[in-house]
């Protein structure tokens, strides 16, 4: 059983998942809306499998989630286009792994996002989950 954490957990989440043919599947809303439902489900399962080792905590009660986006290049992007799908998959994974009780408004009461610039070597979405 996971022990209750003090108040803050920091993780680094992927922005893409590699498919069977070793092609990057970027986790953006534009891609998500065009995926066949079976492809979408497969990508969600792979995302969860990749982050399960990070989900070794338990926060009860209300939480705030903060995302910090590090882009892979200088192309202009819509911040929420990038964050929305990862946020959806991540919150679902946290609930399934008993890290948080639910992903509705009774638990997740605040979600913030920030653009942090370019990191060509390690594009990612850092997340801080704070127990309120």
DSSP states along 66-121: EEEEEESSS----HHHHHHHHHHHHHHHHHHTTSSS-SSTTTEEEEEEEEEEE-SS
User: Which regions in the chain score pLDDT beneath 70?
Assistant: 1-6
Query: Considering the entire predicted model, what is its pTM?
Result: 0.87
pLDDT digits (tens, 9 = 90+) for 77-113: 899 998 999 999 999 999 999 999 999 999 999 999 9
Q: What is the model's pLDDT at position 19?
A: 76
Q: What is the model's pLDDT at position 1?
A: 45
Q: What is the model's pLDDT at position 24?
A: 87
Q: What is the model's pLDDT at position 2?
A: 53
Q: What is the model's pLDDT at position 113?
A: 96
- Give me the architecture of the 8-131 domain, per CATH: 2-Layer Sandwich (3.30)
């Amino acid at each position: 059983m996971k022990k209750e954490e003090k108040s803050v957990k920091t993780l680094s989440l992927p922005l893409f998942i590699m498919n069977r043919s070793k092609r990057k599947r970027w986790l953006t809303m534009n891609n998500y809306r065009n995926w066949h439902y079976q492809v979408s489900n497969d990508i969600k399962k792979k995302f969860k499998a990749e982050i399960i080792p990070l989900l070794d905590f338990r926060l009860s009660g209300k939480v705030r989630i903060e995302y910090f986006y590090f882009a892979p290049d200088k192309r202009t992007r819509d911040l929420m286009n990038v964050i929305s799908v990862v946020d959806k998959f991540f919150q679902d994974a946290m609930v399934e792994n008993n890290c948080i009780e639910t992903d509705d408004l009774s638990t997740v009461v605040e979600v913030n996002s920030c653009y942090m610039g370019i990191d060509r070597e390690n594009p990612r979405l850092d997340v801080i989950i704070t127990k309120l």
